[in-house]
Amino acid sequence: MAHIIEATDATFANEIATNELVLIDFWASWCGPCKRLTPVIDELSQRYQGKLKVIKIDVDNNQTITEKYEIISLPTLLFIKNGECLDTVTGFVPKATIIEKIESLL
């Protein structure tokens, strides 16, 4: 079973306070491409369990974090390690593209 954390403005800082690579999925319930990306994120969460922490942020309910990272398009994936944003992927992309990013950052 995939272990994906549903973070909020209040819990976000705690969740990224790790030296583990963190994949953050900024999404919204009304976003079609976000819905298409969900099974990919679920699969990657399982595949990289123990190596990658996966967090989802609902942009409609978490404006502070959404604004802090200047999220203007959905879906947006951020890759953070030690509190630093290392890379960003915007829009629906093939699973292979996300795997490439993860592999290059692990």
The residues spanned by each domain of the chain are 4-105
Across residues 51-75, what is the average pLDDT? 96
Across residues 34-59, what is the average pLDDT? 95
Choosing from 16, 22, 23, 34, which is the catalytic residue? Answer: 34
CB atoms closer than 10 angstroms to residue 62: 21
Res. 2 pLDDT band, cuts 50 70 90: low
CB atoms closer than 10 angstroms to residue 80: 22
Residue 43 has what pLDDT?
95
Based on the residue annotation, tell me whether 31 is a catalytic residue of this protein. yes
Based on the residue annotation, tell me whether 34 is a catalytic residue of this protein. yes
Residue 1 has what pLDDT?
47
Q: Is 78 left (phi over 0), alpha (psi -120 to 50) or beta?
A: beta
Q: What is the CATH number of domain 4-105?
A: 3.40.30.10
Please determine, for residue 46, whether its predicted confidence score (pLDDT) is greater than 50: yes
**Contacting residues for 63 by C-beta, under 8 A, at least 6 apart:** 9
